[in-house]
DNA sequence: GCCAATAAATGAACATGTTCATTTATGCAA
DNA sequence: TTGCATAAATGAACATGTTCATTTATTGGC
């Protein structure tokens, strides 16, 4: 009966935590499948509970509310996308190329599920209350932080030459990315190349400036 | 009783339309007051109906759903703000000054009701279905169109010198405005001067560019 | 003025998100 | 092993957005 004391590979933690992890996983799977099939608004919490094989109330021990359920699902994907994104940045390439490469995996993924992404973009606005919110917001911050590093590197080796705060530049670029993303998703059938081309266009303008060149 | 036939100054239109206009007005007043007092989520449609003195179902002959009610309220204010905004643009001033002046009235108004504005920003995301949506979207388009004119004028007289499409520039500026607005409203007690200063900062960067200056 | 046609208003019924008192499962000490 | 303490799960009850068959009001033609 020492089996609760044997730390085998699957159970360094207790039964309770293993049950929770499994249940959380079932809920994530069910919610993801349904959000994909029927959209966020078209999915009911009862359906999610039924498909996950748990009681209705159980959902709300894993997420604060329905919106939080959306991020319970998305947070895992955001982590994966971010790893992917950070991995695809070419070194010593032009700055705009680096930014476009960074956002490439996001566009690839979002193009597959424009409906889901639209729901996400609506729900993430001033999303701070849910249990899943901190993890989501940290993810975004780490993307902005990475952009800031890219700016700093580019300024250091002369690919950029702005005297402005790299953090501010990074926030501007992230803001432009978001507004381009919204415009892209407002269209009928958003294609990855089209979206990235539009993003590159605004980045080029940001880098070139609106002139006149020596107006100070 | 020919009084229904007398077209007095208030009634060139029929009884039916007058009733509707009055009812719509009462609903707008009630919704506005409640959204201000208790926020969008904190207000129930039943309360709005009760305060407006109409039955619950009546609301939904004036708005498609609760979200639409938010824009039934906001559309009038948007029109007023836009008139105000267009009227405060100084001629022949530096381009950035003109843009900051244009958005000034919006910041003034939003600073008074940050909660309401946050709700608005969430709900306007991909808002296309409601009866009130077309009017709202037309309002935004006319703001972007005005910015585009400002860009064209500025390029024409040399205050700006970009070869890029003025429409695209206008959309970029509007996008930057929106993301700055969100950042501003994410703070605790958004102040107008602070918000406008942040907006000006990003505009200056956009105009100056990230350099290097003669990289092509 | 009366009547049929049409528009608007109504609120009970329904659908769905959320809460919470109760029940069940797990961990831990004796 | 037993029993208590704590965590988790449960689903009925509730709150609130939305629909729609029915009722009421308005209009235009006779």
Cβ within 7 Å of strand C: which of A 149-208?
none
Judge whether residue B215 has pLDDT over 70.
no
Q: Does A179 touch chain B (CB under 8 A)?
A: yes
Contact A105/A85 with Cβ under 8 angstroms? Answer: yes
Whether B211 and A212 lie within 8 Å, measured CB to CB: no
CA distance B26 to B212: 58
Q: Tell me: the pLDDT tens digits for A98-139? A: 999 999 999 999 999 999 999 999 999 999 999 999 999 999
Residue of A nearest to B174 (CA): A179
Q: Does A121 touch chain B (CB under 8 A)?
A: yes
Q: Does B83 touch chain A (CB under 8 A)?
A: no
- B43 exposure class (CB count in 10 Å sphere: 0-12, 13-18, 19+): buried
| pLDDT for res B8 | 37
Q: Tell me: the pLDDT tens digits for B49-90? A: 999 999 999 999 999 999 999 999 999 999 999 999 999 999
CA distance A19 to A25: 10
Nearest nt by C1' to B19 Cα = C8
Q: Does B175 touch chain A (CB under 8 A)?
A: yes
* Band of residue B212 on the pLDDT scale cut at 50, 70, 90: confident
Residues of B with CB below 8 A from A175's CB? 175-176, 178-180, 183, 202
* Band of residue B213 on the pLDDT scale cut at 50, 70, 90: low
Both tokens of residue B123?
């709900």
Average pLDDT over residues B6-27: 73
- Which of A6-20, B6-20, B27-41 is modeled with the greatest confidence? B27-41
Average pLDDT over residues B161-188: 97
Q: Which residue has the higher pLDDT, A2 or B115?
A: B115
Residues of B with CB below 8 A from A161's CB? 210-213
- B133 exposure class (CB count in 10 Å sphere: 0-12, 13-18, 19+): middle
Judge whether residue A5 has pLDDT over 60.
no
Q: How far is B161 from chain A (nearest CA, A)?
A: 5
**What percent of chain A clears pLDDT 90, i.e. is strictly above it?**
88
Q: How many CB pairs under 8 A join A and B?
A: 123
Q: How far is B143 from chain A (nearest CA, A)?
A: 16
**Averaged confidence pLDDT in chain A:** 92
Average pLDDT over residues A144-160: 97
| pLDDT for res A214 | 53
Judge whether residue B105 has pLDDT over 50.
yes
| pLDDT for res B76 | 94
Judge whether residue A52 has pLDDT over 80.
yes
* Band of residue A9 on the pLDDT scale cut at 50, 70, 90: very low
Judge whether residue B9 has pLDDT over 80.
no
Whether B171 and A161 lie within 8 Å, measured CB to CB: no
Q: Tell me: the pLDDT tens digits for A68-79? A: 999 999 999 999
Judge whether residue B25 has pLDDT over 50.
yes
């Amino acid at each position: 009966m020492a089996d609760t004391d044997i730390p085998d590979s699957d159970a360094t933690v207790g039964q309770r935590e293993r049950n929770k992890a499994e249940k959380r996983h079932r809920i994530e799977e069910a919610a993801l499948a349904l959000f994909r099939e029927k959209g966020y608004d078209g999915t009911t919490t009862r359906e999610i509970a039924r498909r996950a094989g748990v009681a209705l109330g159980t959902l709300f021990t894993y997420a604060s509310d329905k919106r939080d359920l959306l991020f319970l699902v998305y947070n895992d994907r955001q982590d994966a996308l971010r790893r992917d994104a950070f991995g695809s940045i070419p070194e010593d390439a032009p700055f705009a190329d680096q930014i476009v490469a960074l956002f490439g995996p996001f566009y690839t993924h979002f193009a597959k599920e424009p409906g889901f992404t639209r729901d996400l973009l609506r729900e993430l606005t001033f999303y701070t209350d849910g249990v899943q919110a901190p993890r989501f917001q940290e993810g975004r911050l780490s993307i902005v932080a990475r952009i800031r590093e890219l700016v700093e590197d580019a300024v250091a080796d002369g690919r950029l030459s702005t005297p402005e705060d790299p953090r501010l530049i990074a926030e501007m670029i992230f803001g432009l990315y978001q507004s381009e993303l919204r415009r892209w998703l407002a269209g009928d059938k958003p294609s990855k190349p089209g979206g990235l081309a539009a993003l590159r266009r605004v980045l080029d303008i940001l880098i070139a400036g609106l002139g006149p060149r020596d107006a100070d």
